[in-house]
Chains A and B, each alone.
Chain A
Amino acid sequence: MSEGLNYQFLVDTFFVALSGVPIALLITIVALLIALPLGFLLALTRINRIPVLNRFAQIYVSFVRGTPVIIQIFIIYSSVPLLLASIFEKYNINMNVYDVNPIWYAFIVFSLNTTAILIEVFRSALSTVSKGQLEAAYSVGLTNVQAFRRIIIPQTLVVALPNICTATVNLIKATSLGYAMSLQEITLRAKVAANVGYNYVEAYIDIFLVYLILCSLVEYIFKLYEKRLRRYKAVNA
């Protein structure tokens, strides 16, 4: 370290960190695919005060929001294998719990976590769409599903999009905690590379840059999409 930064290592490790991007993105996409519809439906149960589900969603959100992601990871990562082991034993499935790819645990943790965040995002967005929009849809003969698909959801999305963007960026950054489950994502790969020659500063700079680029790109894509969705609000709004 005394000779300053190892530039060759800095450049090489940048690409090592970059090779973790597909894993980080895969987790992000899977988590969003699960959390977007689930979060929306649970938000509806909150708004419409559906008994039981409403309370469930409320408690669920406070549990997830009230605990650090890293602890959620530790809990899932240590309890699910125990659960699986007992199931395998009971049904005589010949499979080693420790062969399960940690990415499955990542899918579970991040889907559960993002769902809770999106429940709140959708709940506030839904409350900005006036009840009159739904009534008008009914009055012209739309069914419930048609009204939601064509009138309510498009308007909710516009309002929710900036917050969905924030949730997505937070999710991408949170996947860095996957190293705690020895997940081969950005942070772990760069750190492992650094272990050899103690080039931690270089590795951290690389990790820093990769997340920065990735998140900026995602934000940019969201901005473009939002601009397209918002066109009906162009004037007085």
Chain B
Amino acid sequence: MLEITNIHKSFGNNEILKGVDLQIDKGDVVVILGPSGSGKTTLLRCINFLEKADQGHAIFGDIDVNLKTASKKQIHEIRQKVAFVFQNYNLFNNKTALENVTEGLIIGRKVSKDEANEIGKKALDKVGLAEKYNAYPSELSGGQQQRVGIARAVALNPDIILFDEPTSALDPELVGEVLTVMRNIANEGTTMLVVTHEMSFAKDVANRVIFMDAGVVVEEGTPKDIFVNPKEERTKKFLKRVLPEDYIFYI
């Protein structure tokens, strides 16, 4: 469904992505792990054209596109298929929770206002914010804001949702509510590509884990492959650092 080949991206002289390939099938929940600076976020942003890749090719369903030379129209088409959940939520500050969710439907996709409101309310109900339709982002906690962010992505009914460290900006006690929502939508069969440091989410929810370091994919496989039998030295080192000493992996 989504196939990306040979993405390269540099910021100045600093090469962040050094030829990354990625393939995602419908219904996949793919988690990308890796130390900070390894290019995970940049990869996600290049897929959605928030950064322009220096080189690379992508196939989104029936759209076949060069990531460097994509036209405005192609970018617009791809953004209709791909939703994005940001680390800092990035809710529209001047819009209520419901308006945040319906904005992309009404303006971006020309859905009628009534229909969009119905879809939007359903999406907010799903993330447990039925009481907060008319709340502005400034009236919501971080966890609630991120759940609106997820509802905004879900409501668009995209082919895939990209999550860029969705819990990294949250207070520890708020992480759980967001992860629960993500588990729920994963269980519904949503295709997801998630950059996260939440090992438990990767272990329990992902069907594939990718370990990236220094701009390349070091290793990929099932959660069991990566967590129990990592082959590469860099993967082992990383896991040793992020997992508690007595961490026992089980399925």
Please give, as numbers and ranges, the residues of chain B lying within 8 Å of A142 by CB-CB distance: 103-104, 107-108
A192 contacts the other chain (Cβ, under 8 Å)? no
In the complex, are the beta carbons of B92 and A136 less than 8 A apart? yes
In the complex, are the beta carbons of B88 and A132 less than 8 A apart? yes
B156 contacts the other chain (Cβ, under 8 Å)? yes
In the complex, chain B residues 146-161 whose Cβ is within 8 Å of any chain A Cβ: 152, 156
Nearest Cβ in chain A — how far from B113, in angstroms?
A: 14
In the complex, are the beta carbons of A140 and B90 less than 8 A apart? no
A154 to B92 alpha-carbon distance, docked (Å): 11
Please give, as numbers and ranges, the residues of chain B lying within 8 Å of A86 by CB-CB distance: none
Residue of B nearest to A150 (CB): B107
Nearest Cβ in chain A — how far from B219, in angstroms?
A: 29
| Stretch with Cβ within 8 A of B (4 or more), from A35-43, A214-222, A228-236 | A228-236
B86 contacts the other chain (Cβ, under 8 Å)? yes
Please give, as numbers and ranges, the residues of chain A lying within 8 Å of B90 by CB-CB distance: 130, 132-133, 135-136
Please give, as numbers and ranges, the residues of chain B lying within 8 Å of A234 by CB-CB distance: 136, 138-139
Interfacial residues, chain B to chain A (CB-CB below 8 A) = 48-50, 76, 79-80, 82-84, 86, 88, 90-96, 103-104, 107-109, 136-139, 152, 156
Residue of A nearest to B82 (CB): A139
A233 to B137 alpha-carbon distance, docked (Å): 9
In the complex, chain A residues 120-170 whose Cβ is within 8 Å of any chain B Cβ: 130, 132-133, 135-143, 146, 150-151, 154-155, 158
Please give, as numbers and ranges, the residues of chain A lying within 8 Å of B93 by CB-CB distance: 133, 155, 232-233
- Given A132, A135, A140, which contacts B152 in the complex, CB threshold below 8 Å? A140
> With A141-B156, A236-B139 in contact, do A136 and B86 touch (Cβ < 8 Å)?
yes
Of all A-B residue pairs in the complex, the 5 with the closest CB atoms, nearest first, are A141-B108, A140-B104, A132-B90, A136-B90, A139-B84
Nearest Cβ in chain A — how far from B158, in angstroms?
A: 10
Chain A, 27-41, contact with B by CB distance < 8 Å: what is the 0/1 string?
Answer: 000000000000000
In the complex, are the beta carbons of B152 and A143 less than 8 A apart? no
18 further A-B contacts with Cβ under 8 Å, apart from A140-B103, A231-B136, A234-B138, are A130-B90, A133-B92, A138-B48, A139-B83, A139-B84, A140-B108, A141-B107, A141-B156, A146-B108, A150-B103, A154-B94, A155-B93, A155-B94, A232-B137, A233-B93, A236-B138, A236-B139, A237-B138
Please give, as numbers and ranges, the residues of chain A lying within 8 Å of B50 by CB-CB distance: 135, 138-139
A155 to B95 alpha-carbon distance, docked (Å): 10
- Given A132, A139, A151, A154, which contacts B79 in the complex, CB threshold below 8 Å? A139
In the complex, are the beta carbons of B92 and A138 less than 8 A apart? no
Please give, as numbers and ranges, the residues of chain A lying within 8 Å of B103 by CB-CB distance: 137, 140, 142, 150-151
In the complex, are the beta carbons of B48 and A139 less than 8 A apart? yes
Of the candidates B48, B96, B138, the one having the most CB atoms from chain A within 10 angstroms of its own CB is B138
A191 to B50 alpha-carbon distance, docked (Å): 60
A172 to B86 alpha-carbon distance, docked (Å): 45
In the complex, chain A residues 195-209 whose Cβ is within 8 Å of any chain B Cβ: none
Please give, as numbers and ranges, the residues of chain A lying within 8 Å of B138 by CB-CB distance: 232-237
Of the candidates B80, B86, B92, the one having the most CB atoms from chain A within 10 angstroms of its own CB is B92
Residue of A nearest to B77 (CB): A141
Please give, as numbers and ranges, the residues of chain B lying within 8 Å of A136 by CB-CB distance: 84, 86, 90-92
A184 to B108 alpha-carbon distance, docked (Å): 51
